[in-house]
Amino acid sequence: MPSPRVTRAANASSTNPNGRLEFMSLLTNRTSASEPATARHRPSDSPVHRKDSNSSSAPLQQQQLLPEEDCMKLNPSFLGIALRSLLAVDLWLSKKIGVCARDRSSWGSARPMMKLVEITGHGIPWIVGTLYCLYKSDSAAGREVILNLLFALLLDIVLVGIVKGIVKRRRPPHNRMDMFATFSVDKYSFPSGHATRAAMVSRFMLNHLVLAVPVRVLVMLWAVVVSLSRVMLGRHNVTDVAFGFFMGHMQYSLVDYFWLSPNTVAALFRMWSR
């Protein structure tokens, strides 16, 4: 049984001087007692939990984006696969055929001969030789053919330079930059200017010059050897030469469509003679 002193102390602590209960303190005590522990201390209100929730939500967003990116990488288009496969085969085949790219290559001893073939397909000797023939020509028919050939050579230089400037494909890594009379655009590889010129000039000569059968065979053989020498010297890839050969044939069709008439040739020749 508790002592009267302890009972009086408990009653005095629960009553005010007027003998009334402190309802505010009782209400506060009841509320704090009735609230659960999780409500009194919410982890979500703490800045540490907010920081953790933000950091955990970022990887979730990345995980939602990664499957779509992985699908794009793992499921490329058929055109992309075809182009990459063609590029891989092109690089491999170009390196295999480039047997004269260096002096220590398997056919390095034939490199000087291939460089001589390279000069025969260069634009400067052809333009200089055409101008000389135009100056020495004494017939209207000959001047007409030679002037159209000059127009074709100039058109070839312009079109090849434009395409090279647009594509900007670098030359093969095994190439040795010791070409004859190069320009700034010649650091690019696509398309092969020698291949376009060889195809265009050979077709021009076969259609507008009267040649014997052995000479016609030599002209066609020259065009093929010039184009092949570009890959053997390591100057170009196979696709550069193939597209250049096709482009040369198209250039001849363009020159044949815009063939300069005899009147135009006569007027231009009079201007040239003055």
Mean pLDDT of successive 10-residue stretches along the chain, which has 274 residues: 47 46 47 47 47 48 47 64 86 88 83 90 92 87 90 94 92 82 81 93 92 94 94 91 94 91 73 70
Contact 223, 199 (CB under 8 A): yes
Take residue 203 and report the two structure tokens written for it.
């077709």
- What CA–CA distance (Å, rounded) separates 165 from 90? 21
pLDDT value of residue 198:
95
From residue 129, how far is each of 115, 119, 207 by CA, in Å? 19, 13, 19
Q: Quick one: residue 46, left, alpha or beta (phi over 0 = left, psi -120 to 50 = alpha)?
A: beta
- What CA–CA distance (Å, rounded) separates 204 from 227? 17
Q: Which residues are the active-site residues? A: 194, 236
pLDDT value of residue 6:
45
Strand partners of residue 188:
170
DSSP 109: G
Contact 188, 167 (CB under 8 A): yes
CA 193 to chain centroid, in Å, comes to 19
pLDDT value of residue 274:
66
Half-sphere exposure of 226 (CA within 13 A, CB side): 26
Peptide bond into 214 cis (omega under 30): no
